[in-house]
Amino acid sequence: MSDARGTVDRSTATDLNARWPWFVALGIGLLALSVVAWVDSVAVTVVSAIVIGGSLAAGGVFHIWHSLVAGNRYGAALSLCSGILYTIGGLLTMREPVHGAAVLTLLLVITIVTGGILRIAAILRLSYGRVRAWPLLLLGGIASIVIGALMYISLPWPGLWVIGVLIAVELFIQGSGWFYIGLALRAG
């Protein structure tokens, strides 16, 4: 049985090795998209805000529909209010995507600063003296707070480019990974 399984594993690996150009092509495509997103991060940010706004508005409509169809007396009111807020927030974000991107960036700033504070607290409480790299981890938490504070101070301008740059970085990392997997399959 192990021979049959070993044969299947080898044939699967051989099949993947034969398809290496598709992995490389996916990597190159994502890398190209990352360059486009980097060059025009403002447009990517605005489009992202519109898509997020549309998603919020659609989610709000579903909440409203659910409250009218399936809600009980108390749950229906809460679901209806939630749906109305989602829908209004989504429509406002779609109507004013630059302001919507600024609000999303503000939420990102809050997340970054909170994460930095929590990391510092955890490092000081749990790792101080036990982990050799604790000063580097502490520096990372402080850097998060400083970066978040600088972004907050300069709002609304980061709202115009931060989301687009983050998408560009994500596409670059994914593209690099698929590209190198394709090259590894070719060599293997």
User: Are 37 and 171 contacting, i.e. CB atoms less than 8 angstroms apart?
Assistant: yes
Which letter, b or e, does each residue of 6-20 get, where b requires 16 or more Cβ atoms within 10 Å of its Cβ? eeeeeeeeeeeeeeb
pLDDT value of position 2? 45
Q: Return the structure tokens found at 134.
A: 């604790």
11 belongs to a structural domain: no
Domain count, the chain: 1
Q: In a structure prediction context, what are the per-residue pLDDT tens digits for the chain, which is 188 residues long?
A: 445 544 545 666 567 778 889 999 999 999 999 999 999 999 999 999 999 999 999 999 998 998 888 767 777 888 889 899 999 999 999 999 999 999 889 999 999 999 999 988 888 877 555 666 678 878 988 999 999 999 899 888 888 888 889 899 999 999 999 899 889 888 87
CA 118, CA 158: separation in Å to the nearest integer?
24
10 belongs to a structural domain: no
8 belongs to a structural domain: no
* Cα distances (Å, whole numbers) of residue 98 to 28, 55, 68: 30, 16, 33
> Which residue in the block uniquely carries the two structure tokens 């990597």?
27
Give the residue numbers spanning the domain of 88. Answer: 23-187
pLDDT value of position 130? 65
User: Are 123 and 185 contacting, i.e. CB atoms less than 8 angstroms apart?
Assistant: no
User: Are 28 and 179 contacting, i.e. CB atoms less than 8 angstroms apart?
Assistant: yes
Terminal-to-terminal C-alpha distance of the chain = 25
Using a 10 angstrom Cβ sphere, with 0-12 exposed, 13-18 middle and 19 or more buried, the burial of residue 42 is middle
Q: Cα dihedral sign for 167, 168, 172, 178?
A: positive
pLDDT value of position 76? 80
User: How many Cα atoms are found within 13 Å in the side-chain-facing hemisphere of 62?
Assistant: 7
pLDDT value of position 71? 66
5 belongs to a structural domain: no
3 belongs to a structural domain: no
17 belongs to a structural domain: no
9 belongs to a structural domain: no
79 belongs to a structural domain: yes
